[in-house]
Amino acid sequence: MAEQEYDYDLFVIGAGSGGVRASRIASSHGARVAVAEEYRVGGTCVIRGCVPKKLLVYGSHFAEELQDAANYGWTVDKMNFDWPTLRDAVNKDVDRLNAAYTSTLENNKVERFLERATITGPHSVKLADSGREITAKYILVATGAWPVTPTFEGAEHCITSNEVFHLPELPRKVIIAGAGYIALEFAGIFNALGSHVTVVNRSETLLRGYDETLRDRLLQITMARGIEYKFNCPFEKVVKREDGCMEAYLKNQPDPIVADVILVATGRKPKVEGLGLENAGVELGERGEIKVDEHNRTSCDSIYAVGDVTDRVQLTPVAIREGQAFADRVFGGIERKVDYDCIPSAVFSQPPLAAVGLTEGQARNRYGNVKVYSSDFRPMKNVFGHRPERGLYKMVVDANTDKVLGIHMIGPEAPEILQAAAVAVKAGLTKAAFDDTVALHPSMAEELVLLK
């Protein structure tokens, strides 16, 4: 019996980093590929996530750099900041990236449908605007994640990370709900730009999953920079006043906190609502994530999923690798799986922190006998800035084998330095290998080979 004919070999729902990579690679293997995207090509990271946010971080750094300039002999007159100029420049670059991702799909002969697609069966989807029914041998879901929205009274007056890039003006006072990486990155941005920032968290923990020593150091530094924290204070309600300001009523706080903007950054959840997954028998997990096997296949053999929608590791480079592995295996005959061990990560707070491998606590639970080496130092660039802030590098080592199990860093340019160090941890190098490497002086990175 002849194989059934489909409109496409692969239909991808979602043109973010994972979806675009899978589309491009599948097409390079000779597959007929189409992708549907209801918003803009590029996905969360490019359009309303890590890329525009990092540009805001860069913009906010100038407040500190310009203040330090006088100590280096520079005269800087009339230091004024204009939020619309930075905001518009960032959004203009988002436009550029959207066009670049679109060109990537065009150049790889991937057909694009700029409308929502829903699954109607194991091999079929329906486009929302045109109503067209399309068939495909395989369907890949790469719709990413979406900000978790709160349920307290007045939550509709708050914004999420989706809207923060389009604020009409710089708020004088900002309340940020949450204490994860998104919350602390925006806290650093607005604090540096001159806003008064209050971070409100329902628990007493910030940056869950990162090494406790680094978390404590970041808390100390950011409090010294003027960021206020309210721990164990869940939101009870938000009231919008006639003047446009917001009053946030918190549990365990006698008086409301007033702000111009309340940014909710309490996590992200897989974006699966309305996808029609039930029409193909695709199973979801407890957190609403699409359940997949080691090859990213769902409970329906013809449907796969990659990226944040699977809620395994919500990082853009992971989604890209998953998309590539899927396309290579299904359309290229190349057996490939993603290795989730020793994935480096960073928080672009101010100062930033970065980590790879096991924290001290995780290492002690798993290995028992571990050694910890550290360097607590004042970065050279802080000397002329008259800032007492200190960097902290920490290495966790298996005491029995001398193998490096984890590296954790906080300080200027920590993410840039950690990327190379992550290669060493991934390769299973020992503390002795670091000790045997000659230091690159003067640099902050040299602390990694001088740890005691």
Instruction: Tell whether residue 259 is among the known ligand binding residues.
Output: no
Residue 184 labelled as part of a binding site: yes
Q: What is the 3-state secondary structure (H, E, C) of the chain?
A: CCCCCCCEEEEEECCCHHHHHHHHHHHHCCCCEEEECCCCCCHHHHHHCHHHHHHHHHHHHHHHHHHHHHHHCCCCCCCCCCHHHHHHHHHHHHHHHHHHHHHHHHHCCCEEECCCEEEEECCEEEECCCCCEEEEEEEEECCCEEECCCCCECHHHCECCCCHHHCCCCCCEEEEECCCHHHHHHHHHHHHCCCEEEEECCCCCCCCCCCHHHHHHHHHHHHHCCCEEECCCCEEEEEECCCCCEEEEECCCCCCEEECEEEECCCEEECCCCCCHHHHCCCECCCCCECCCCCCECCCCCEEECHHHHCCCCCHHHHHHHHHHHHHHHHHCCCCCCCCCCCCEEECCCCCEEEEECCHHHHHHHHCCEEEEEEEECCHHHHCCCCCCCEEEEEEEECCCCEEEEEEEECCCHHHHHHHHHHHHHCCCEHHHHHCCCCCCCCCHHHHHCCC
Is 185 flagged in the annotation as binding? yes
Q: Does 308 belong to an annotated binding site?
A: yes
182 marked among binding-site residues: yes
- The answer to whether 179 is annotated as binding is yes
Look up 61 and say whether it is catalytic: no
Considering the candidates 123, 295, 408, 441, report the single residue annotated as catalytic.
441
402 annotated among ligand-binding-site residues: no
Q: Which residues are catalytic?
A: 441
The binding site for NAD(+) comprises 178-185, 267
Would you list which residues are annotated within the binding site for FAD?
54, 308
Question: Which parts are annotated binding residues?
Answer: 54, 178-185, 267, 308
